[in-house]
Amino acid sequence: MPANVSPEYRKAEEAYRKAQTPAERLACLEEMLATIPKHKGTEKMQADIKTRIAKLRREFSSRKGPKRQDFLHIEKQGAGQVAVFGAPNCGKSALVAGLTGLPTQVAPWPFTTAQPGAGMMAWESIQVQLVDTPPIAPDAPGWLYHIIRTADAGLWVLDLADDALLETTEQVRELLTAARISLVPSEELRYCPTLRVGAKCDDPDAADRLAIVTEMLGTADILPVSIETGAGVEELKRRLFAILDIIRVYTKRPGHPVDKVDPVILPTGATVMDAAYHLHKDFARQLNFARLWSEPDIEGLRVDREHVLKDRDVVEFHL
């Protein structure tokens, strides 16, 4: 194994060795693929992981009858995948529909969402995939937790119109822990970086419930939103981008204008070499240097391969 794999990759690999079910193995493999460094030294490892993932998915898709519902997988698209989850009737589907236009089934009774659905949320120059999931409840299917584990981030929807908010919030927290999912960094559980939102903040008693649940969870970072009034929606989009921990890098050819339509999406901390490799591995091998345009005042600065990029940087590659 190359010495420069990340601690996150090593944890996923160790979890894979201990996994007992195909669904657990698949979740670990996908985490390994997401966290392995993307460079020439790991190409064979990446190919091996992808082969094992494809084999497991074929096994699941070939199953007959009810067992096929033991596992569901949502293919990742866009700049990142966010699993939207919460208690029954908390407003998840209405939120996803309002942000993406996905034709979700919205009703004033619980358990309306029985199958996951994915829609694309536009924000500035990118698209973020939101996955509407069934409610977290004691009889929730196991694949629901698989979707949360393998997503790039989570969006926990708390119902500010629910008199039983404290009870449902505690139940969701307990069920996530039982599924070995943590919403804060953990050595033992699968960490899912998660944004918490208080839906239906236009309810007359929403402010009081928000104060109470904030005290219960021990965090002030619960964003009140309302699809009905639009309150908090733009801030929610900005925070979803932030929690994905990614940057947008724009490229240009020498003598040509910058392409601001389709940015390269990279993890925070990525370098010029990472951006080149993302475009094509042969392109990265031939890279000599790059020129950088970066706000507020860097214009055409020559930088080397290991220069760390920032969000909205513009890079011009020279071979």
Q: Are 198 and 224 in contact, with CB atoms under 8 Å apart?
A: yes
Would you state the pLDDT for residue 2? 47
Would you state the pLDDT for residue 68? 44
Per CATH, the number for 7-69 is 1.20.58
- pLDDT tens for each residue of the chain, 319 residues long: 444 677 778 878 888 888 877 777 887 888 788 778 777 778 888 889 989 888 887 776 666 544 444 557 788 899 999 999 999 999 999 999 999 988 765 545 444 555 788 999 999 999 999 999 999 999 888 889 989 988 999 999 999 999 999 999 999 999 999 988 999 888 888 889 999 999 999 999 999 999 999 999 987 789 999 999 999 999 999 999 999 999 999 998 888 888 788 899 999 999 999 998 888 777 788 888 899 999 988 999 999 989 999 999 999 998 8
Would you state the pLDDT for residue 146? 86
CATH architecture of 246-318: Roll (3.10)
Would you state the pLDDT for residue 98? 94
Q: Are 291 and 301 in contact, with CB atoms under 8 Å apart?
A: yes
Strand 289-294 and strand 298-303: the pairing is antiparallel
Would you state the pLDDT for residue 181? 92
* Size of the chain in residues: 319
Q: Residue ranges of the domains in the chain?
A: 7-69, 72-243, 246-318
User: From CA 139, how far away is CA 195, in angstroms rounded?
Assistant: 24
Helix 233-243 vs helix 92-100: crossing angle, to nearest 10: 90
Backbone angles phi, psi at 92, to 5 degrees: -60, -50
Would you state the pLDDT for residue 109? 42
User: From CA 20, how far away is CA 25, in angstroms rounded?
Assistant: 7
> Both tokens of residue 113?
């969402």
Would you state the pLDDT for residue 53? 85
User: From CA 30, how far away is CA 16, in angstroms rounded?
Assistant: 10
pTM above 0.85, yes or no: no
User: From CA 34, how far away is CA 40, in angstroms rounded?
Assistant: 16
Per CATH, the number for 72-243 is 3.40.50.300
User: From CA 43, how far away is CA 36, in angstroms rounded?
Assistant: 10
Would you state the pLDDT for residue 104? 61
Same fold, 7-69 and 246-318: no
Would you state the pLDDT for residue 61? 64
Would you state the pLDDT for residue 114? 55
Q: Are 73 and 30 in contact, with CB atoms under 8 Å apart?
A: no
